[in-house]
Amino acid sequence: MARKFLVGGNFKLNGSKESIKEIVERLNTASLDPNTEVVIAPPATYLDYTVSLVKTPQVEVSAQNAYLKGSGAYTGEISVEQIKDVKATWVLLGHSERRTLFGETDEFVAEKVKFALDSGLKVMLAIGETLEQRQAGITDAVNERQLTAVLNLVQDWSNIVVAYEPVWAIGTGLAATPEDAQETHANIRKFLASKLGQEAADATRILYGGSANGKNAPTFKDKADVDGFLVGGASLKPEFVDIINSRQ
């Protein structure tokens, strides 16, 4: 079945009102591939501002994180209801930096995914292996472990997009080849099919999140299981438009 190409831009802890305005205005005025969905994730302090700037329905706004409670004494956290209140529609959960720097476990990520979905947000679920895990030959085992935690809590994956991040290829100068990505994505889809059924697995989009840029994005064009990109640093630059249009 046809899966709509999706390009996500994770600004991480970067940006100001000035720079975010420049990024969004570029998207508003660029000729974007109409067959590509775009989701941008600014820092939480700029969610409301970013939503107010977006003028094209092709571009949606995502939070970079959310907690698993609706409100309460959780200093420093951001709630799903607050994300929805400013009209953002997505949340990115399970990013490798949340797992490694902030100690988020597979089970904790899964609880957050379920809460966000139950509350009406769409979720980009990031999974992926470190360099040590890749060298040990356990890439698929790591991905399946991270997916299983969510599968244990969520059966309807229609509002989940999986973002495969080879952690070893993020900001290191190393990069997975399109063939590497396709092999891993195909294994992810096969695993999802074994748990959810082939139809649901075929409908689930799997993004590549390993340092895609304007130059290498077109080389993934013919990879059947690469349904888009989750972009980091390149989403802050003009080449983000080139990535969005890489299927043309």
230 strand-pairing partners: 8
Q: Give the separation between CA 128 and CA 99, rounded to whole angstroms.
A: 10
Select which of 37, 60, 144, 165 is catalytic: 165
C-alpha triplet 56, 95, 135: angle, nearest 5°? 130
116 phi and psi angles, rounded to 5 deg: -65, -45
Q: Give the separation between CA 69 and CA 87, rounded to whole angstroms.
A: 19
| C-beta atoms surrounding 218 within 10 Å | 15
Q: At 78, is the secondary structure helix, strand, or coil? A: coil
**Is 185 among the residues known to form the active site?**
no
Q: Going by C-beta distance under 8 Å and a sequence separation of 6 or more, which residues neighbour residue 174?
A: 131, 168
**Is 165 among the residues known to form the active site?**
yes
Select which of 37, 60, 95, 104 is catalytic: 95
Residues annotated as catalytic (active site), given as ranges: 95, 165
